[in-house]
């Protein structure tokens, strides 16, 4: 091998590291990326809030439905993300202009059949958790479980995917707020209450803000492929206002007269919420919004955690 004067030979270690960096992820790293771990807190927060509220109002805590509901919710979220990954790739939704994290199907890191099979495995395992929860909660939990599985599949599938229209945020409030909080509460109390409804709306509102941040970031790319998300329909300024409303709504709901006792502790998350609203309104759309999206998901978990602390202690 001839080396020109001044040229340095690359070390084998450096070449190996560069080659490794160019390779797509494999094994568990591929699946971890595919299930979008930043969004998994959206499954944890409502189960935590609903269980804590049920514990506080019933005066006792049953860990069995809590753990089963948590496992089922995480699996439905992961399955929905996998199904969304493959469905968007096949529909042409994950174009090069997209600013979000990498999608394994669109990048060719996994075949559509493999990702679809992963989604089915997640949904199948969620059904096993669901069967156990049905044995504890009866027909209301059966109805909620079937609706959750159907909703997770229809979010990106079918002739009119929910993700491609302006109702995605309402879907999120319904399933990641009212349904998940109400179902977790019911499993502890075998009843429903106004406070559970209020907590569901509060937690679901921040989950909707996560989706708004996602769709606001991808407005141009989504418009090109025919999506008509709420962000596109509303436009830039109105989307910024809607995000602010979604992020601030939990404080009004949980501290107001209809909120649960102990809801005042969520006020500790106000500085984080205000900072997010400011960043959403001032930062340019693009990869920076991935941080805003992830931080919004953490805000939802923080609010649920503070609510749980206020209720229990």
Under 8 Å between Cβ of 310 and 266: yes
Q: What is the pLDDT of residue 205?
A: 98
Report yes or no on 38 lying in a domain: yes
Distance CA(152)–CA(175), nearest Å, equals 9
Distance CA(52)–CA(61), nearest Å, equals 8
Q: Which of 295, 298, 300, 254 shows the shortest CA–CA distance to 278?
A: 295
Burial of 4 (0-12, 13-18, 19+ CB in 10 A): exposed
Q: Which ranges of the chain would DSSP assign to H, the alpha helix?
A: 12-22, 28-34, 41-58, 63-91, 112-137, 139-154, 168-173, 180-189, 194-217, 219-224, 230-234, 236-255, 270-282, 288-312
Q: What is the pLDDT of residue 4?
A: 44
Residue written as token pair 């990498």? 102
Q: What is the pLDDT of residue 126?
A: 93
- How many structural domains compose the chain? 1
Residue written as token pair 């999120």? 172
Report yes or no on 17 lying in a domain: no
Q: What is the pLDDT of residue 102?
A: 80
Q: What is the pLDDT of residue 11?
A: 53
Q: Would you state the structure tokens that stand for residue 198, as one six-digit string?
A: 């209020």
Report yes or no on 8 lying in a domain: no
Under 8 Å between Cβ of 113 and 82: no
* Residue span of the structural domain in which 228 resides: 34-312
Report yes or no on 7 lying in a domain: no
Report yes or no on 12 lying in a domain: no
Report yes or no on 248 lying in a domain: yes
Q: What is the pLDDT of residue 21?
A: 46
Under 8 Å between Cβ of 92 and 225: yes
Q: What is the CATH number of the domain that holds 269?
A: 1.10.600
Q: What is the pLDDT of residue 82?
A: 94
Report yes or no on 9 lying in a domain: no
pLDDT under 50 in the chain at which residues?
1-7, 12-21
Report yes or no on 5 lying in a domain: no
DSSP 3-state assignment of 98?
coil
Residue 192 CA, chain-centre distance (Å), reads 24
């Amino acid at each position: 091998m001839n080396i020109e004067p001044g040229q340095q030979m690359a070390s084998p270690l450096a070449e190996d590291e560069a080659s490794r960096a160019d390779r797509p992820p494999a094994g568990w790293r591929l699946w971890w990326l595919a299930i979008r771990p930043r969004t998994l807190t959206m499954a944890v927060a409502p189960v935590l809030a609903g269980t804590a509220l049920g514990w506080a109002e019933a005066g006792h805590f049953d860990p069995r439905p809590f753990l089963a509901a948590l496992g089922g919710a995480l699996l439905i979220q992961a399955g929905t993300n996998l199904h969304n990954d493959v469905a968007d790739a096949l529909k042409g939704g994950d174009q090069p202009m997209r600013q979000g994290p990498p999608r394994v199907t669109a990048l060719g890191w996994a075949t559509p059949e493999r990702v679809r099979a992963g989604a089915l495995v997640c949904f199948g395992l969620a059904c096993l958790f669901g069967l156990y929860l049905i044995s504890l909660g009866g027909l209301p939990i059966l109805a909620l479980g079937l609706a959750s599985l159907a909703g997770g599949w229809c979010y990106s599938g079918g002739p009119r995917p929910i993700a491609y229209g302006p109702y995605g945020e309402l879907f999120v409030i319904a399933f990641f707020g009212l349904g998940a909080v109400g179902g977790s509460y019911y499993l502890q109390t075998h009843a429903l209450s106004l406070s559970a409804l209020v907590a569901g709306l509060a937690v679901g509102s921040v989950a909707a803000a996560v989706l708004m941040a996602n769709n606001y970031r991808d407005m141009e790319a989504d418009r090109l492929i025919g999506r008509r998300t709420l962000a596109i329909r509303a436009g830039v300024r109105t989307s910024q206002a809607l995000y602010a409303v979604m992020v601030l709504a939990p404080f009004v709901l949980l501290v107001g007269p209809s909120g649960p006792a102990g809801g005042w502790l969520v006020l500790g998350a106000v500085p984080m919420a205000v900072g997010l609203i400011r960043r959403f309104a001032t930062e340019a759309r693009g990869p920076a919004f991935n941080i805003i999206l992830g931080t919004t998901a953490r805000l939802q978990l923080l609010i649920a955690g503070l609510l749980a602390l206020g209720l229990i202690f």
